[in-house]
């Protein structure tokens, strides 16, 4: 990731460039870390028996990571639709 481009896009008040596309990988990694911490927290502090928590914690972790991935992919699809719409408008204007 180009740092000068990152800060330029961050401070761009006209929103001419999308910052989300550039930081989506970092958001995904941070999300995985939080899911892992949540699973560990549940594993050691849950109200169920320890054996049941050992079974449920990894399954919950996997489901949350899958949902996070799907949500981030949907966000990217929306941004790609916007990019493609801009390209179509420019092409039609020619």
22 close to 1: Cβ distance less than 8 angstroms: yes
Kindly report the pTM of this predicted structure.
0.80
Nearest Cα residue to 34 out of 54, 64, 73, 67: 64
- Number of other CB atoms surrounding residue 8 within 10 Å: 12
What pLDDT is recorded for position 88?
A: 92
**Mind listing the pLDDT tens digit of every residue in the chain (94 residues)?**
556 677 777 777 777 777 888 899 999 999 999 999 999 999 999 788 999 999 999 999 999 999 999 999 999 999 999 989 989 998 888 7
What pLDDT is recorded for position 21?
A: 85
What pLDDT is recorded for position 4?
A: 62
């Amino acid at each position: 990731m180009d740092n000068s481009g990152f800060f330029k896009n961050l401070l761009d008040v006209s929103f001419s460039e999308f910052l989300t596309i550039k930081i989506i990988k970092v958001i995904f990694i941070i999300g995985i870390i939080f899911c892992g911490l949540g699973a560990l927290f549940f594993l050691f502090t849950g109200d169920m028996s320890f054996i049941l928590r050992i079974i449920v914690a990894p399954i919950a972790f996997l489901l949350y990571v899958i949902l996070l991935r799907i949500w981030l992919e949907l966000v990217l699809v929306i941004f790609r639709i916007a990019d493609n719409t801009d390209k179509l408008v420019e092409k039609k204007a020619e």
